[in-house]
Structure 1
Amino acid sequence: MGAVKTKRMPRAVREQQMLDAAVQIFGQRGYIAASMDDIAELAGVSKPLVYLYLNSKDDLFTACIRREAQALFAAVRAGVRRELPADRQLWDGLLAFFTHTARHPDGWSVLHLQARTHGEVFAAEVTVVRAGIVAFVTQLIAEAARDALARSADRAPAGGASVDPPLPERDVAGLAEALVGAAESLADWANATPSVTARQAAATLMNFAWTGLGELMAGRRWSPPSA
């Protein structure tokens, strides 16, 4: 009886399998300690095949960074429904961010810890996608500010006191940077604290960003929608 031929796996599928293994190894062991032997073994392929598909350890790490960055950005964008009020858009974006980073802790480690500390080339890859997220958040904040300004104008009595001027672009940009930076730090903390869920992390930052520290100290909080 002749040997049974197994169906050859498509290159794209095999490559994703290698990237899955690489993200796990890089995320858990770090870039320096990760070895191509361990990645190949976890992926269930030979080391020469990893080199054939992805050229080198540096190229493999870069491919991991790009894939995880694109997945994170896509998750945040998909989570935001632009037809909803500004606070719901911000909440949905934060929840999508923390849900993704909680579900993919190795990918988050690759992006936020490993890529930033192992050379300018890797750090530059993260900088590009982070700039995209900051730009997206900047747009959300700018739209929220315009909505708030419009509501203030509607409430103002005819011929009465003037409405506050729009939030300056510099302030909008600064708020977006602060919010993204806070989300990154909070994701690290939440992933290292098993008792903290993605929803709890999102609610913490939502209250800090939307309600404000002063209001929180007075016992007033923003209530997340029901799950």
Structure 2
Amino acid sequence: MPREVRERQMLDAAVAVFARRGYRAASMDEIAELAGASKPLVYLYLHSKEDLFSACIRREAEALIAAVQAAVDPGAPADRRLWNGLRGFFAHTAAHPDGWAVLHCQARTHGEPFALEVAALRQRLVDVVTRLITETAEAGGCTEPLPEVEVAGLAHALVGAAESLAGWSNERDGTGSCERRTAETLMNFAWTGLENLRNGRRWAPARS
């Protein structure tokens, strides 16, 4: 069997075991058995348990980013670009719950170097959303560009909300059938705010 195929089988098995057991409780014996390979072969191809977990994080992160980017049609109207990006995100996390569990739950709880891998993924998602927000404001005919710090804050808030909703939706539904409804929930929340911003309608606290 080609090494590329064998490594993919090992990573598939590792993602399933890490998602179910957690990083510390997962065993290389179980991963090897699920992959249909010997434990020495897993070590030969993917080295240590830490290296294997890092490889899982990188693979799942790349797949998620690719899914979001593929969903966004650059020629679509501003609201459709944001909507399609959210649909791509929630569709992928619903279709790959083990991968999302590794990224969102397991990798965050074990410190470096895993936390750095997840932070890099999050920043890439924030960069994608930042561009969408900027393009949305420009398409809406904003007379003045939104301040960079405000766009960055909005992008972080939207990514954080999407991450939280993906975990909640997967735990609540378990079948991925409500990913569209989840995307609609966040879209309604985000688009109302962006519409107000790009039309110059801003909320401000009442003066005491």
TM-score, normalised to structure 1's length?
0.82
Q: Which runs of 5+ in 1 are unaligned?
A: 1-8, 151-163, 216-227
Paired residues of 1:149 and 1:166 also in contact (CA < 8 A): no
- Provide, for residues 182-202 of structure 1, a one-character-per-residue CA deviation record: whole Å limited to 9, x for no partner: 000000100001176110110
Q: Does residue 147 of the first structure (1) align with residue 128 of the second (2)?
A: no
- Provide, for residues 68-102 of structure 1, a one-character-per-residue CA deviation record: whole Å limited to 9, x for no partner: 00000000000000100110000000000000000
Query: Which structure would you say has the larger Rg?
Result: 1
Cα distance in 2 for partners of 1:102, 1:28 equals 16
Q: Does residue 123 of the first structure (1) align with residue 115 of the second (2)?
A: yes
Q: Does residue 202 of the first structure (1) align with residue 183 of the second (2)?
A: yes
- 1:218 paired residue number: none
Q: Which runs of 4+ in 1 moved over 4 A?
A: none
- Provide, for residues 7-31 of structure 1, a one-character-per-residue CA deviation record: whole Å limited to 9, x for no partner: xx00000000000000000011110
- Using the aligned pairs only, state the percent identity: 67
TM-score, normalised to structure 2's length?
0.90
Match of 1:182 among 145, 161, 171: 161
Cα distance in 1 for partners of 2:93, 2:167 equals 9
- 2:201 paired residue number: none
> The residue matched to 2:66 in structure 1 has which SS?
helix
- 1:158 paired residue number: none
Counting only pairs closer than 5 Å after superposition, residues 133-172 of structure 1 correspond to structure 2 as 133-149=125-141, 164-172=143-151
Q: Which runs of 5+ in 2 are unaligned?
A: 197-208
Q: CA deviation at 1:166?
A: 2.3
- 1:46 paired residue number: 38
Q: CA RMSD in A?
A: 1.5
- 2:192 paired residue number: 211
